[in-house]
Amino acid sequence: MSLDDLYKETILDHYQHPRNRGQLDDPDVATRGHNPLCGDEILLSLKLGDGVIDDIAHGGRGCSISQASASMMSEGVKGQPIETAESLGAAFREMMVGSGATDGLDGNEDLEALQGVKKFPVRVKCALLPWAALEEAIETWRKAPGRS
């Protein structure tokens, strides 16, 4: 199997069998990521006890890339300290729109599969959509009254 085929298969698997799909009851923070170019959206809900992403769920509707990316992201950050999730997000951006390096992804092969999308620049925004929603969710949580 070529690397391209492997990438496609991984993306398709997450699209068809999304991990952590749904909505959490009583989340600590919830956000909506929106791609104005197409109208697609990602709804994120998170449980953030003690600075750790105890639980995360994603919903909404969107293209296969945005949905697969949300599934991969949720798996990558669930159970991780917020700072680790942020580092992973930064590393993902580095791969997608920076130098292209993948070393910051810590061997997360599913996330690496999305680099195949870079051949289609318009779809890069789709892959980044869930991560932008996560960044917003974390920022909202940090700014909540009583925190800091």
Contact between 132 and ligand FES (CB under 6 A)? no
The only residue of 6, 30, 38, 97 in contact with ligand FES, by rule CB under 6 A: 38
- Write the interaction track for ligand FES spanning residues 70-109; mark x where CB under 6 A is met and - where it is not: ----------------------------------------
* Selected binder of ligand FES within 66, 71, 74, 115 (CB under 6 A): 66
> For residue 117, which of 129, 133, 103 has the smallest C-alpha distance?
129
Token duo for residue 23: 């909505």
Query: Which span (5-13, 20-28, 34-42, 80-88) binds ligand FES, by CB under 6 A?
Result: 34-42
* 3-state DSSP assignment of residue 132: helix
- What span, in angstroms and rounded, lies between the C-alpha atoms of 91 and 65? 18
- Among positions 129, 133, 134, 137, the unique one binding ligand FES when judged by CB under 6 A: 129
Residue 55: in which H helix or E strand, if any?
strand 52-61
Handedness of CA 2, 14, 118, 83 (dihedral sign): negative
Residue type, 13: D
Binding site for ligand FES (CB under 6 A): 35, 38, 40, 62-63, 65-66, 126, 129
